[in-house]
Amino acid sequence: MLMQIDWDWETGSRKLMDISQWQNRFNWVEEPYVSPDGEKIAAIVNLAEGEFNVCVNDETWETAFDKIWNLRFAPDGRLTAIVSEMGEWTVAVDGIAWDNKFGYVWDLMFSPDGKNIAVAVQQDMAYGMALNNVVWQETFLNMTHPTISPDGTRTAAAVQVAKFGEGEIHKFQQGVFSAALDGKTWDTQFVNVWKMAISPDGQKTAAEVRLNLYDYTIAVNGKPWEQTFGCVWEPVFHPRNGAVIAPVRTNGKWFLAQDGQIIWDRKFVQLWHPMVSQNSNKLAAIVAPKYGKWTVAVDGRPWSVSFGDLLTDTVFSPDGNRVAAVAKEDKKWLIVVDGAVWKNTFDMAWQPVFSPHNNDVAVKIERNGKFSIALNDRLWDQECDAIWDPVFSPEGDKILLRTIQAGIYTRRVLSLNDILR
């Protein structure tokens, strides 16, 4: 959760940086990123062949690296990247590299407050994870679907725990995959293990598993549900009661199940991406009531409107009473809030953002190659070369906009009326 109270919320604009000048200082400049509070802008820059650095508000890190990628600001404002030194990869935080080095590093992940940083790592063809520069003691032959716990203190992944050759189908069918939490595997093995979740208290892991060539289910701490299905999707933990929720397919249709039991009285052609509201009172998912028609179902009840191309980026309001999503229909992107479609259409749109008091919805949008913000279906009157997701003030009466226009990075705090007028 972003610590917005200490940010500068005084209304006005500040031109912080002319990043177009960076092109004159460096061989090339990669995509810029901005800090959550808008006070910093950074980009990977090339100094010479095989020599890269990061430029932050016109200053470079003290140390250059062989290669840098996946530059990101953590939620707490620290600037992180995956870097290569002397052919070994690691994580750098504000320019300081971790002590541990690896053959490769990927999937940079943060806790919601940004204090914990995790990555998947490979060294000498052995796979594991590292959290805050601490590496799993156990490594594995293969690893997929790395994840971090909701509080950021634990990591998990699907891992291969036994060798098998390309022709050893019998070994594969006996089960050679499991899940590892902080490097400790389940006692059970499965034909396949896929996407997983860690419980809010960090004591449980749940994952999609394949029991044999035909049966799928969800396993929790290695124990599969008693019920099996034709297919399952990624599970989620209910934050209040610890139950495991997952989409499941049976008799050719998709249902929502909790701890193995069907909980919604409706069936769908497709159902995925379930989510629980912040107050834990409501449950929503992306569903297809008919083939090729996508919408949102809240507590099992689908919206009356549906879309033929795509529906994605669903989000609950803070109080859990509202849901917004991005949809695509006839090559145009749409914003849908509580089943009502905004009149404006876009060439691209990103995940909607609710205000703290749930009344307002802001979205980053693109039209004709330019970027802007839409608020409650009203367009901001500025077009930008780049813009980042809007951020509401804690009181919900202002909005932070981080923009680039003609090479100038500007931090703006506007009242909602400045956009809605």
> What residue segments make up the domains of the chain, in order of their start?
1-139, 354-421
Average pLDDT over residues 308-323: 97
pLDDT value of position 6: 87
DSSP 33-75: EE-TTSS-EEEEEEEETTEEEEEETTEE-SS-BSEEEEEEE-T
- 204-261 per-position pLDDT tens digit: 999 999 999 999 999 999 999 999 999 999 999 999 999 999 999 999 999 999 999 9
pLDDT value of position 420: 81
Which residue in this structure is represented by tokens 């802008």?
41
Is the pLDDT at 415 greater than 70, yes or no? yes
Q: Which residues of 161-193 are buried (b: 16+ CB within 10 A; e: fewer)?
A: beeeeeeeeeebeebbbbbbbbbebbeebbbbb
Confidence class for position 167, pLDDT limits 50, 70, 90: confident
CA distance 232 to 250: 9
CA distance 224 to 228: 9
Q: What does each C-alpha distance from 256 to 40, 185, 207, 269 come to in angstroms?
A: 43, 27, 15, 12
Confidence class for position 1, pLDDT limits 50, 70, 90: very low
pLDDT value of position 88: 97
Bridging pattern class, strands 332-337 and 408-415: unpaired
Those residues whose C-beta lies under 8 Å from the C-beta of residue 166, and which sit 6 or more positions away, are none
Query: Is residue 253 a contact partner of residue 268, using CB atoms and an 8 Å limit?
Result: yes
Query: Is residue 232 a contact partner of residue 208, using CB atoms and an 8 Å limit?
Result: yes
Query: Is residue 93 a contact partner of residue 80, using CB atoms and an 8 Å limit?
Result: yes
pLDDT value of position 71: 98
- 369-413 per-position pLDDT tens digit: 999 999 999 999 999 999 999 999 999 999 999 999 999 999 999
Average pLDDT over residues 66-89: 97
Please state, rounded to an integer, the average pLDDT across all residues of the chain: 96
pLDDT value of position 175: 76
Of 58-67, 189-198, 277-286, 376-385, the range with the lowest mean pLDDT is 277-286
Confidence class for position 3, pLDDT limits 50, 70, 90: low
CA distance 158 to 194: 6
Other beta carbons within 10 angstroms of residue 6's beta carbon come to 7
Is the pLDDT at 50 greater than 50, yes or no? yes
Query: Is residue 45 a contact partner of residue 26, using CB atoms and an 8 Å limit?
Result: yes
Largest CA distance in the chain: 68
Average pLDDT over residues 43-56: 97
Is the pLDDT at 2 greater than 90, yes or no? no
